[in-house]
Structure 1
């Protein structure tokens, strides 16, 4: 097997199944490194699949204990009890202690544990207790938050389930065998034999029906197939669809992927229809066997996580540079290298952003839960940040800009006069087709009065069908009203139907399609398009009953009957939603396969500029550089194929945009995968839901706009903690460096530094619940480690100015300037340092004036106020001696108020300068 194909297969699988948490590309893709056991399992599976391909249905069905009409419910239940659910790629539920271990094992916690161990081994039990408390606090908070968010996510995911169409026999038929006479596989079973069940309930032996847009739910052997094209990119890496047949046509093959009559879990139907029997399910499938191995590995980081890691390592590198400097300065100036080492370790603890992972996790989880209340299901937590960072939204037209309900407005002859005959033929086509029924078919089939009038079941026998595909943009059914002829009824896009017509039906007679008639027809259809109607042409051809199987080549020499025209009115919420998205910095682009005139009318009605529209044919002719320029200029694209949509999305991403794509059809799947954030709806086809990161329970741009705002709130709160941590840490170290040079004693004991850091961390646990200023939501934001570094340099030293003022206060005013009075000095700086660090939470959470123009949420106000109160209480209360602090003179607090006020005023001034020059 081609190894690069396997790598691409699993990359696609990880993205479409939402399993980023468990997958990454690893060296085991090298077959030479596989174990004998692995090779044996794969070999056995391959032999079984090849055997199923080579076995006739008459023998295969009995061997699987099934029937051409499927299993009964009782049979399926018995088999399910034996083989388990049809699921793969799901993380095994971690025991609570393993989950706790995963919450603990991050670089920051491990670093703190090393520091705690060193403290304990050096008889600094208090320091070890404080550091251990910090590790325990961060780990437990993350554990509880992840447990809560995982339960919420599972509950939300259960709301979105993919189904398969399975054939079920009645209980009275249970136990019947399968004879050769039973093994007849019609193209369409009567609807009463078909039921929709969740994919996970499928079992080997189930007979399923497949049509365009379906995910292949298991490894299957085809029993019948009609123009079945399957995308095997998830398995073979081949981008073009592969045609499948009920019989093996290419001779013997050792690679299952080369077998024409097998389809595999993880692939999807592009066009056509088929029935198939399930051979393997779950982890016993070809894909599942390989997936079981990668579930044991971790995934490579996503773009979002890379951004978090960049910021984390920025702070860690800063620590690795500053801690040795502190150690050397204190060692040389104090001549006590042991104390200097302990102090440097405390500085290392203080500089470690141990709460970052917990804050990020809690903020994302809170965002996901909040979005669920707005009918938005988040399949992958990291997608929330991309939601907020999105600055271009590509969307289809039907059901998004327009109502999800299409109305059959007119049925006319070729010149626009009402015609019941056209509607009757359109009804026959929609009724008998077994492929993907879209909203147009649903609108036609609502005319149920035609069913009895035409006596569809009695007068018309279905012979065959030629399924829809996105290249032909038409589909045909062949029926026999009388046994003396067959009638091919074709409906589809006007241009594509005209391309296979040679005649027209006019006033009861048939005449040749002349250039003059063609021009008149185009004027009629264009006028209908100008009214905002979507026009579908209907054509027929009578044939002698000389064959039972028809192909695309039979769609020729047709007679045009007329048109059915549909109205898809815009939603009332679309115009305000587009306006809101654009106001918030999200540019909306429409990508549709529909007619350009209909698209233009709808866009104008919803307030979307469409002075120029780029058509699919023009996209096809453009090179990648030309398309990159075009996608910046145009906002509306019409008559697109699925590949055109994917190219446009990729071109936008290459232009440094964060691109979201909203779609629900099989033709949207490629673009959903190509986008930074794929967005679909719960009513979408299977492959679209699988490819999406976000599922909307209501297909509305208004809901999407609310989701974008929630994503930005989530990111803004994460950014707050990062800025606070970076600037506060830098300021503390800068103050320590200055104090270490001039003071004859340590400016603060290691234990005091650790307690201060623990209290400061606790003051920030409510940041995920904080309010966000509206101006911070005005435009998308991204992680930028360079910007964080600049922010740290600007705001960090400001706290040092007031730390120095405190040093001077304690040294000159309160005479704490000897080793004998160092406790008083350290107590004064402990209180001032903790209060300024806690105030920075309120100063940096907003560019406005805190408490007056922008107030924090009540949880954050309560936690910070509590920590400030504890900070004052420790040196003044009964625990002062334990922490080697002492009570401060009452006059100190007057000076402290002045220092805090000055700190707030200077910080506010710096914020104003910084925001004007660099933004916020």
Structure 2
């Protein structure tokens, strides 16, 4: 039991060195020995289980009944074809489920937790699965703990362990404690456990258990994962499908009753009615939505946006406000100190060369280094920790300080970790028996707790003139878009408490840092503006600093569009909600302000996207319609509360994700409208012809074939349509907008009626070219089969060609690119080839009651099949001309 042993005993047992950690070779060897650090998940469904699940649908049960009845009646060919359709549909469903599952697994892998470890003397971030016993875990606030560990160092460390103990109050940890074997889990103050959360302070832990050999691994309820749930989009489509299905079944029952009254063959009419019911119900909607979503979010992940919750894809298309952090999202997240100020001088720092610094400047840099948790390697130009702290370490390098020597000669005894309320951090350091407190934070904050300053190399009492000098220096730097940070210190005679550390300090000076805007952000802000999306900057920086960056990026034009957190506090909720849409910059805000801003924006009817990276950002991420976490700098808590994770922490990726989200929704809508149009065409053709007393233009097997080939393949291909480059020129979609908005409903009804009418005409023409009409009673079988072949081929041709017109509601097929969707072209070509096969092969001809057409028949089918596409293109010409007139 590790918690009963001293640190030295645990280190010896695990054969590791806390100062160096494991080597990469040793870590790899232990990974092979102990296995990956992960819990066993749910057992995946087998292919057979997925196949059987595809058959558990009431529509399939109807078809099985049809199979049994046709076999009893001796219609074995029909039975085989219906059964083949059932099996083929199930196989396609399994294939889609496997593909969607693989995509989700890939996303889960990309979004897997990360952990900070020390290996070969270097702190680095690694996948949590690669953690092994003996690793040294670096623990900081906001990070989930990746494995069970015995603490070897702790500084005001607090861990929230409710997942294990049920105790909601964070537990205070102390590495020096040694417990007895009877100590309960919740009282083991020298240990931390997998899946718990660091809420405060910092520490280092020696990993003693991974994967299923952890405390959380013993809890069966933890293993299993989340229940799968349908997205609002899928629920809406499900409801739509069932409504249309009931309507279709009602029509089919009516057809059967009419046929009964007309004295038709009941066996044939039963099969036709059942087949038409199945063909009329868009049961493929849910599967198509699932595959389009999975392909879409996989594509988004490749462009640095990981979607954690599928409903976010639908919501993205409605976003009209993007609330973005400044640092790292709008800027490069590469802070550099470019100026420093002491009462002796204000100097500019030149990077890459050693700058000559005064004694005050050297002490300033030393204080910043000893009051930091960051690391930075000059050789690799890489580091860990907050970019601001890394910039302060680089300041020491620029002033010629040897950081390694400095850190080895100073031992940290205590610290008062940074929090958003105090806006400062303090450390207590021992150097050759002397104790010193170093505190860094916002300069106005430090002025409130400082009583002295260094002036002319002497410690003197802080006066209003000194405060004025610091205020003016801060103002000068802020006007240059520099972020300011002050530092103070005080010698103490003994170890002091955290509260005593931040009293009666001696102010040393301040530095000005800049984080340049990302080059790609300004065009993205402009693109968002064209798309009806307002960009809002939310930052902890000073008002003038924030506004300077916002103006450069095109986010704000006037300082009146900027407001501070303090000014927000002075407004009532009602007044703030009324004015919130006027602001583009929120400066000096706390996480609590973020929540208030999001709620106020939503109260005004906005759909809000919010970025965040810290523990305290979780409430605002959850309050927003789309919570966006930073993948690089974001804490595990922020990622867990988000709907989307940016793997590059880049604002441009948010705009790109909105663009992709709009296109994904648009593609789903195309597929839905196309399916409904095709189904309506089949119903119109069957219902009208049977109502006026004609023979059925299509038999059961033909209807099932059309449902399988013509509907499904182009619908999936439409769902994979390349993005519309002009989608960001449109305004955001209303969240409750119907699929049939913007004329889509009229297009579906008009297209369905047109396809149905052309099918009826083709059926009539099949009689006419043989010298008969559908009203004639004594008609040769060859003539009826010729008419049905004409109707069958025409219906298929109309639907396949019509899919090209569905790619855009107003752009022509040449404007969107005739061959730009290779999947759709492939689906059309495959559909036509399959049509040719079943009409050319004698056995297939017989099975589907078809016959080879003559030249006149083929020409008629080709011409009729192009009519829906041509009419749609003419309508688009009219729509474009009307739009041009309205814009003049």
TM-score (norm 2): 0.82
- Give, in whole Å, the separation in 2 of the partners of 1:819 and 1:877: 30
Q: Who is 2:39 aligned against?
A: 88
- Give, in whole Å, the separation in 2 of the partners of 1:371 and 1:459: 49
Q: 2:513 matched to 1:566?
A: yes
- Give, in whole Å, the separation in 1 of the partners of 2:9 and 2:63: 62
Q: Who is 1:864 aligned against?
A: 828
Which one of 275, 292, 299 corresponds to residue 363 of structure 1?
292
Change over 3 Å in CA distance of 1:665–1:541 after alignment to 2: same
Change over 3 Å in CA distance of 1:844–1:213 after alignment to 2: same
Q: Who is 2:525 aligned against?
A: 578
Which one of 403, 424, 435 corresponds to residue 362 of structure 2?
424
- Give, in whole Å, the separation in 1 of the partners of 2:53 and 2:578: 46
- Give, in whole Å, the separation in 2 of the partners of 1:417 and 1:593: 24
- Give, in whole Å, the separation in 1 of the partners of 2:64 and 2:166: 45
Q: Who is 1:591 aligned against?
A: 538
Partner secondary structure for residue 637 of structure 1 = strand
- Give, in whole Å, the separation in 2 of the partners of 1:451 and 1:470: 30
Tell me the alpha carbon deviations over residues 215-249 of structure 1, each in whole angstroms, 9 at most, x when there is no partner.
Answer: 22234555543223445687799998665555899
Change over 3 Å in CA distance of 1:830–1:141 after alignment to 2: same
Q: Who is 2:658 aligned against?
A: 708
Greater displacement, 671-680 / 598-607: 671-680
Which one of 558, 581, 586 corresponds to residue 637 of structure 1?
586
Q: 2:554 matched to 1:607?
A: yes
- Give, in whole Å, the separation in 2 of the partners of 1:590 and 1:275: 35
- Give, in whole Å, the separation in 1 of the partners of 2:74 and 2:728: 50
Shift of 1:154: 5.1
In the TM superposition, what are the counterparts of 1:725-804 in structure 2 within 5 Å? 725-761=675-711, 762-779=713-730, 780-781=732-733, 784-785=737-738, 787=740, 790-791=745-746, 792-793=748-749, 795-804=751-760
Q: 2:444 matched to 1:492?
A: no
In the TM superposition, what are the counterparts of 1:219-618 in structure 2 within 5 Å? 219-220=148-149, 222=151, 224-230=153-159, 244-245=173-174, 263-278=192-207, 280-283=209-212, 285=214, 287-290=216-219, 292=221, 295=224, 298-371=227-300, 373-377=302-306, 383-414=312-343, 417-418=346-347, 420-433=358-371, 435=373, 437-446=385-394, 447-448=396-397, 450-452=400-402, 455-457=405-407, 460-483=410-433, 485-544=434-493, 546-547=494-495, 550-609=497-556, 611=558, 612-618=561-567
**Contact in 2 for aligned 1:126/1:751 (Cα 8 Å):** no
Greater displacement, 877-886 / 379-388: 379-388
**Contact in 2 for aligned 1:153/1:379 (Cα 8 Å):** no
**Contact in 1 for aligned 2:89/2:708 (Cα 8 Å):** no
Tell me the alpha carbon deviations over residues 608-637 of structure 1, each in whole angstroms, 9 at most, x when there is no partner.
Answer: 125322322344566766655454332322
Tell me the alpha carbon deviations over residues 30-83 of structure 1, each in whole angstroms, 9 at most, x when there is no partner.
Answer: xxxxxxxxxxxxxxxxxxxxx987x57479949986789498679977876676
**How many residues are treated as equivalent by the alignment?**
842
- Give, in whole Å, the separation in 2 of the partners of 1:150 and 1:300: 14
Shift of 1:744: 4.6
Shift of 1:381: 6.1
Change over 3 Å in CA distance of 1:163–1:210 after alignment to 2: same
Shift of 1:529: 0.6
Partner secondary structure for residue 577 of structure 1 = helix
Greater displacement, 873-882 / 320-329: 873-882
Shift of 1:533: 0.8
Shift of 1:866: 4.5
- Give, in whole Å, the separation in 1 of the partners of 2:454 and 2:100: 63
Partner secondary structure for residue 215 of structure 1 = coil
Q: Who is 1:6 aligned against?
A: none
Partner secondary structure for residue 454 of structure 2 = strand
Change over 3 Å in CA distance of 1:134–1:592 after alignment to 2: farther
In the TM superposition, what are the counterparts of 1:157-176 in structure 2 within 5 Å? 162-166=113-117
Tell me the alpha carbon deviations over residues 151-195 of structure 1, each in whole angstroms, 9 at most, x when there is no partner.
Answer: 566567656664434467xxxxxxxxxxxxxxxxxxxxxx93866
Change over 3 Å in CA distance of 1:328–1:590 after alignment to 2: farther
Change over 3 Å in CA distance of 1:657–1:726 after alignment to 2: farther
Greater displacement, 756-765 / 392-401: 756-765
Greater displacement, 58-67 / 88-97: 58-67
Q: Who is 1:18 aligned against?
A: none
Tell me the alpha carbon deviations over residues 258-316 of structure 1, each in whole angstroms, 9 at most, x when there is no partner.
Answer: 87666443343243112345565434545545565662773233334434434443443
Unaligned runs of 5+ in 2: 348-356, 375-384
**Contact in 1 for aligned 2:480/2:545 (Cα 8 Å):** yes
- Give, in whole Å, the separation in 1 of the partners of 2:322 and 2:403: 46
Change over 3 Å in CA distance of 1:621–1:716 after alignment to 2: same
Greater displacement, 89-98 / 855-864: 89-98
**Contact in 2 for aligned 1:319/1:348 (Cα 8 Å):** yes
CA RMSD of aligned residues (A): 4.3
Unaligned runs of 5+ in 1: 1-50, 169-190
Shift of 1:348: 1.8
TM-score (norm 1): 0.79
Change over 3 Å in CA distance of 1:753–1:713 after alignment to 2: same
Change over 3 Å in CA distance of 1:414–1:297 after alignment to 2: closer
Q: 2:597 matched to 1:648?
A: yes
Tell me the alpha carbon deviations over residues 11-48 of structure 1, each in whole angstroms, 9 at most, x when there is no partner.
Answer: xxxxxxxxxxxxxxxxxxxxxxxxxxxxxxxxxxxxxx
Shift of 1:599: 0.6
Change over 3 Å in CA distance of 1:161–1:847 after alignment to 2: closer
**Contact in 2 for aligned 1:86/1:281 (Cα 8 Å):** yes
Shift of 1:409: 0.5
Shift of 1:507: 2.6
Q: Who is 1:886 aligned against?
A: 851
- Give, in whole Å, the separation in 1 of the partners of 2:682 and 2:136: 69
**Contact in 2 for aligned 1:422/1:563 (Cα 8 Å):** no
**Contact in 1 for aligned 2:118/2:137 (Cα 8 Å):** yes
Q: Who is 2:809 aligned against?
A: 847
- Give, in whole Å, the separation in 2 of the partners of 1:571 and 1:763: 41
- Give, in whole Å, the separation in 2 of the partners of 1:239 and 1:395: 31
Partner secondary structure for residue 845 of structure 1 = coil
Which one of 820, 825, 830 corresponds to residue 787 of structure 2?
825
